[in-house]
Amino acid sequence: MTVSARNGIPGVNTAPLTDLPVLLPLDRSKATGPDALLVSRWLAGMPAWVPLAIVAVILLWPLTAEAAKFTYFNAIETLFRWLPFLIKSGFLFNILISFFAMAIGTVLGAALGLGQISLNPVIRWTAKFMTQGFRNSPWLVLLYIVLLAFPFEIVIGDVIIPVPDWMKAVIGLSLPIMANISEIVRGAVLSVPTAQWEASEALAFSRTQTLWRIILPQCFKRMIPPWMNWYAILTMATPLCSLLGVEELITLSRQAMEGSDNHAELLVPFYGFALLIFFAYCYPIARWTIRLERRFAVKF
């Protein structure tokens, strides 16, 4: 029997015609688990006029400010004078820290993720313990622990190797990234249908051959979007290093304001610039993450 669009679909938007069960459409919000790309979706879903609105608020702020010897326009002029220094010695250092922390965290996280699926119970439970421990620890606490636990220099015979604060910050930030990358690897491996493991076993493949030649090549595409999402999160977390004395964008912004007599009018321009430059760097990453996720998504 054909039902016209005017009458609707029985059992969906009109009363059912029989007492037989009706298969409802798939509700993706209930059929999926927690969204691993929540931050990237939020950032990518932000309209393009948001940064323009932030700039407009910064520029219109003088209309509400009281008259003073050091005006808001003087603050903008001070910001532009310090701009090359803040970008070259500040923000680029944030990017450098994020690159090194992501590289270390990815390598260690991949090994830890494979350890979680190991057949050896000692390796498996040790990897799980480390993953959950670092994954559920505050990033700032880990940074302080690394700062206080690591020495300021390593002495090997007559050779003294200094350990700068930025290197400690890289190690501290790589620990939570390692744990989250471990979960990405574990989830990607377990998402491959078990029939492929069984088929490989039937063809006399060893577990190592199955993992490296069949399973992991399929997991690579699935791991790229969440990996990029965590890189964006890591980049936005690098200002935490300013609390350790690392000379990055926020630390140099404070030094620049102190060098300009620490006027209150300097706060909005300097920190507003920090907000805009991090947004300009992370927003394209978020958009690219969503695009890759749609490209590599499993089609129903």
Indicate the burial class of 23 (C-beta count within 10 angstroms; 0-12, 13-18, 19 or more): exposed
The pLDDT of residue 269:
87
The pLDDT of residue 267:
85
Cα–Cα–Cα angle for 32, 35, 39, rounded to 5 degrees: 165
The pLDDT of residue 100:
95
Cβ atoms within 10 Å of 271's Cβ, excluding its own: 15
Low-confidence residues of the chain, pLDDT below 50? Answer: 1-3, 65-68, 300
Cα–Cα–Cα angle for 224, 229, 234, rounded to 5 degrees: 125
The pLDDT of residue 209:
85
Domains along the sequence of the chain with CATH: 72-294 (1.10.3720.10)
User: What are the pLDDT digits (tens) for 241-256?
Assistant: 888 888 888 988 888 8
Rounded CA separation 181/223 (Å): 9
The pLDDT of residue 66:
46
The pLDDT of residue 177:
94
How far, in Å, are 13, 99, 164, 182, 270 from residue 230 at the CA level? 41, 12, 25, 12, 26
CA 109 to chain CA centroid, Å, is 14
The pLDDT of residue 103:
95
The pTM (predicted TM-score) of the whole model is 0.73
The pLDDT of residue 288:
84
Start-to-end CA span in the chain (Å): 27
Look up residue 16 and give its DSSP letter. Answer: -
